[in-house]
Amino acid sequence: MVIGDKWVDLSTVQVMGIVNVTPDSFYDGSRSESTADILSTVKDMLKCGASIIDVGGYSSRPSAADISVKEEIDRIVPAIQAIKSHFPEAIISLDTFRSEVAKAGLDAGADLINDISGFSIDPKLIKVVADYGVPYILMHMKGTPQTMQNETEYDNLFKEIYCYFSEKIAVLESAGVKDIIIDLGFGFAKTVEQNHTLLNEMQHFQTLEKPMLLGVSRKSMIYKKLGTTPEEALNGTIALNAIGISKGANILRVHDVKEAVELVKLLEVRG
């Protein structure tokens, strides 16, 4: 897949590093509010082998506070500009569900859009993605970050999520969006048990014929299951990422790039 002006070979598992320019993300190790912190984090991630840097200015943890479009733009634009200025080779994903933020971020240098809402919150996002001709990460979620944990009822978990992707992909492709990556949305409108069920069934989504992003890094499906905290969830993250790779994941979205890159290398050797 071409992202920006670079070819990214998704037949080999790629690692996406998380950079949250927010004060309230669920894992404080991912928060980078000053430009110096952002650049230091990105430098380390690129050095460790990250293929993509995912920048987000809106915390999507359960019950996170809502912020204005202007505040989100004010967070992400300087971050993207600084990263592109210091690391022009970096591929930047912008984590947003708002069309105005997406446009501002793409104008600042972002290379693809990572939308947790599947354009359900702001349908105008489709046109922005199509007009800019950038790849789009389509995630499954019900509700909003403020309501999603109250929306975990499914008649058939796998069937409903599969149909969600089938329908959304058709809409995107008809609008001219060419490169689509799917994300099953672990931790979004799903219980701990549902998350693990979905991970175990992840390989079946390969029939959609789209690359798959796996985002389980330090999430509650790990630390609640183990009775620990996000800070203690690195071992669990590695374990679930290994399962995800075996189920067909093409991209790992992680807080800990070095460990994820090492995992990918070891699994490639195991072959």
What tens digit of pLDDT does each residue of 196-211 get? 999 999 999 999 999 9
Range from 33-37, 120-124, 208-212, 237-241 carrying the lowest mean pLDDT: 33-37
Active site residues: 219, 253
Task: Identify which has the larger pLDDT, 147 or 141.
Answer: 141
Residue 26 has pLDDT above 60, yes or no: no
For 173, the enclosing helix (H) or strand (E) is helix 157-174
pLDDT (0 to 100) of residue 24: 59
Q: Token pair 């202007």 is at which residue?
A: 70
DSSP one-letter code for 56: E
| Mean of per-residue pLDDT scores for the chain | 94
pLDDT (0 to 100) of residue 59: 85
> Mean pLDDT throughout 119-147?
95
For 60, 189, 255, the CA distances from 147, given in Å and listed in that order, are: 11, 8, 25
pLDDT (0 to 100) of residue 165: 98
Contact 28, 66 (CB under 8 A): no
Both tokens of 178, joined, read: 């060419």
Q: What percent of the chain has pLDDT over 90?
A: 87
Neighbours of 154 (CB within 10 A): 15
DSSP bridge pairs for 253: 16
Amino acid, single-letter form, for residue 191: T
> For 142-153, what is each residue's pLDDT tens digit?
988 888 888 999
pLDDT (0 to 100) of residue 148: 87
> Mean pLDDT throughout 5-9?
95
pLDDT (0 to 100) of residue 271: 46
> Mean pLDDT throughout 81-109?
98
Residue 240 has pLDDT above 60, yes or no: yes
